[in-house]
């Protein structure tokens, strides 16, 4: 799901670049030193994911995994996807240099929306919510990117409803595959290393509603456990 | 919060290893199952076949770019003609004019690619005096091996329908090189493992640099 060179008009391309720089600058401010290794690994996963294609009938689809990036990196998904797209453009010829901005808004925006969906899990108290919301986030990443793709193609004169419908139908297999992949990853990570996932709150404050007193509570237990 | 982090730091040595192992496994699996062909990048090739220009668009997974809009521009970027490709992603049209041309194929959903056809690739309708002798010579040679007659008669016969013959030869050559052209453009589109590894190297390198400056700033 990359837009090629020479389709969009100059104002759309410029808007894409301005939007990308603004969002990337804002989201990069939150980059912690401890996060850098994780961001770089996930960026590589995103970069490589576009090469994996799953055969479906006579045709095939390739993974995008912007939902996974959102689930694992949170808002840092945006700069990660930006770097991934730049390298995909230069090395693989996906999309084009002039469309890096729009493509990042499309896939990175999808990643941010996937993160928002992922965060909704805190409002539910059901079994395996990580798997369910991971799957939802994976599908939402593709879905929202498809909407942005259709929106940007509207400026070229293509009709929105038709393009959006066509794009989303074409990406239904990807949505299903990514929902499975992201759901499985989230379920695995939450078992093995929960704080590798984005927006993971410390487990104790989540279960008890009062915020102030329990801040002391885990501190106390922490002091106790090492001793 | 501070305590939570401290606690975390203590946990890291045991649990982080498995997490890293997991991520490394994902990356390795992703790398291993990567097929050499690239899905969903639109490619095309165009070449002259007799008096026509032949265009074919296809995706790198082998799917043809059917029902795609093909637009031909001249050197000054004004549109010459447009058409829709058939079920095999092919489209051919008569040469509109003797100039450089830019041909774009738009397969919808943001997939578009273009190809520049240079003027000297076009079949020249005006007889070029420099190429005249060579054509005649080859044809005469061919005929002399077939018939025991003197070379004089074939030459006169040939020079009569020279241009028709030339078109025929060009068409035959065009047909013969078609698989070659296809192979060549597929090869150009294919990326090697080196690109993939290189890209991952870029990512780690850039984040490494970022980390270096972050560490220097904090210490």
Asked if A54 and A64 touch (Cβ cutoff 8 Å), the reply is: no
pLDDT of residue A180: 93
pLDDT of residue B143: 47
In a domain, A97, yes or no: yes
Residues of chain A with pLDDT below 70 are 30, 57-59, 201-227
In a domain, A51, yes or no: yes
pLDDT along chain B (219 residues), means of 10: 46 49 61 47 78 82 80 86 86 85 82 82 53 43 47 51 79 80 72 81 91 82
How many other C-beta atoms are found inside a 10 Å radius of the C-beta of residue A172? Answer: 15
Structure ipTM? 0.73
Nearest by CB to B3, from A41, A83, A219: name it: A219
In a domain, A99, yes or no: yes
How far is A106 from A29, CA to CA, in rounded Å? 21
Token pair 């946990």 in the structure block, residue: B11
pLDDT of residue B23: 62
Which domain covers residue A170, as residue numbers? 10-202
- Work out how many CB contacts closer than 8 A connect A with B: 147
Are B31 and A48 a contacting pair at CB < 8 A?
Answer: yes
Distance between B57 CA and the closest CA of chain A, angstroms:
14
Structure tokens at B209: 């640099």
Question: CA B202 from chain center: how many Å?
Answer: 26
Token pair 């409002």 in the structure block, residue: A123
Q: How distant, in Å, are the alpha carbons of A47, A85, A92, A98, A103 from that of A89?
A: 10, 6, 6, 10, 10
How far is A141 from A114, CA to CA, in rounded Å? 5
Token pair 């007799």 in the structure block, residue: B50
Distance between A33 CA and the closest CA of chain B, angstroms:
7
pLDDT of residue A212: 47
Dihedrals phi, psi of B13, to nearest 5 degrees? -50, -35
Are A92 and B191 a contacting pair at CB < 8 A?
Answer: yes
- The DSSP secondary structure of A93-115, one letter per residue, reads --S-STTHHHHHHHHHHHHHHHH
Dump pLDDT digits (tens) for B126-156.
444 444 444 444 444 444 444 444 445 555 5
In a domain, A170, yes or no: yes
In a domain, A224, yes or no: no
Are A48 and B195 a contacting pair at CB < 8 A?
Answer: no
Give chain A positions within 8 Å (CB) of B37: 53
Are A40 and B207 a contacting pair at CB < 8 A?
Answer: yes
Are B3 and A93 a contacting pair at CB < 8 A?
Answer: no
Contact partners, residue B149, CB within 8 Å, separation at least 6: none
Give chain A positions within 8 Å (CB) of B18: 192-193
In a domain, A145, yes or no: yes
pLDDT of residue B159: 55
In a domain, A105, yes or no: yes
Distance between B84 CA and the closest CA of chain A, angstroms:
16
Residue extents of the structural domains in chain B: 1-33, 42-124+163-193, 132-160
Number of domains in chain A: 1
**Exposure string for A41-63, b = 16+ CB within 10 A, e = fewer:** bbbbbbbbbbbbbeeeeeebbbb
How far is A165 from A56, CA to CA, in rounded Å? 19
A152: nearest Cα among A109, A199, A92, A88: A109
Asked if A77 and A23 touch (Cβ cutoff 8 Å), the reply is: no
Q: What is the CATH number of the domain that holds A95?
A: 1.10.1760.20
Are A93 and B110 a contacting pair at CB < 8 A?
Answer: no
Contact partners, residue B45, CB within 8 Å, separation at least 6: B55, B56, B115, B181, B182, B184, B185
In a domain, A216, yes or no: no
CATH architecture of B42-124+163-193: Sandwich (2.60)
Dump pLDDT digits (tens) for A83-107.
999 998 988 888 889 999 999 999 9
**Exposure string for A151-168, b = 16+ CB within 10 A, e = fewer:** ebbeeeebeeeebbebbb
Are A61 and B108 a contacting pair at CB < 8 A?
Answer: no
How far is B146 from B157, CA to CA, in rounded Å? 14
Give chain B positions within 8 Å (CB) of A149: 109-110
Mutation target vs B (from A7, A13, A32, A40; most B CBs, 10 A cutoff)? A40
pLDDT of residue B20: 62
Sign of CA dihedral A28, A95, A159, A166: negative
């Amino acid at each position: 799901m990359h837009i090629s060179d020479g389709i969009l008009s100059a104002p759309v391309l410029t808007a894409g670049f301005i939007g990308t720089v603004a969002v990337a600058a804002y989201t990069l401010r939150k980059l912690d030193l401890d996060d850098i290794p994780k961001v770089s690994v996930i960026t590589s996963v995103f970069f490589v994911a576009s090469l994996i294609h799953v055969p479906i009938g006579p045709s095939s689809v390739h993974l995008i995994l912007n939902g996974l990036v959102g689930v694992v990196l949170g808002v840092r998904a945006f700069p990660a996807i930006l770097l991934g797209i730049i390298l995909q453009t230069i090395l693989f010829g996906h999309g084009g240099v002039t469309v890096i901005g729009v493509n990042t808004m499309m896939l990175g925006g999808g990643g941010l929306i996937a993160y928002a969906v992922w965060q909704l899990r805190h409002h539910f108290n059901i079994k395996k919510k990580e798997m369910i919301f991971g799957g939802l986030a994976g599908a939402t990443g593709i879905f929202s990117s498809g909407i942005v793709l259709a929106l940007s193609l509207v400026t070229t004169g293509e009709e929105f409803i038709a393009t959006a419908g066509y794009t989303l139908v074409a990406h239904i297999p990807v949505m299903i595959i990514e929902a499975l992949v992201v759901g499985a990853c989230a379920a695995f990570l939450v078992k093995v290393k929960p704080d590798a996932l984005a927006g993971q709150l410390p487990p104790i404050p989540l279960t008890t509603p009062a915020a102030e007193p329990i801040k002391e509570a885990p501190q106390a237990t922490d002091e106790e456990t090492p001793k | 919060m501070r305590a939570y982090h401290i606690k975390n730091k203590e946990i890291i040595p045991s649990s982080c290893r498995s997490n890293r192992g997991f991520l490394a496994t994902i990356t390795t699996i992703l790398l291993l199952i990567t097929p050499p062909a690239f899905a969903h990048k639109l490619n095309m090739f165009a070449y002259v076949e007799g008096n026509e220009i032949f265009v074919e668009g296809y995706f790198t997974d082998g799917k043809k770019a059917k029902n795609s809009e093909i637009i031909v521009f001249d050197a000054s970027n004004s549109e010459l003609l447009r058409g829709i490709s058939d079920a095999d992603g092919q489209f051919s049209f008569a040469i509109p004019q003797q100039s450089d041309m830019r041909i774009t194929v738009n397969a919808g959903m943001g997939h578009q690619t273009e190809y520049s056809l240079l003027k000297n690739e076009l079949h020249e309708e005006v007889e070029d005096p420099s190429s005249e002798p060579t054509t005649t010579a080859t044809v005469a040679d061919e005929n002399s091996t077939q018939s025991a007659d003197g070379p004089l008669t074939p030459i006169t016969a040939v020079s009569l329908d020279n241009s028709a013959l030339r078109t025929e030869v060009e068409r035959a050559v065009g047909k013969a090189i078609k698989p070659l052209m296809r192979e060549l453009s597929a090869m150009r589109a294919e990326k090697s493992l080196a690109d993939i590894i290189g890209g991952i190297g870029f990512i780690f390198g850039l984040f490494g640099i970022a980390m270096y400056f972050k560490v220097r700033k904090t210490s």
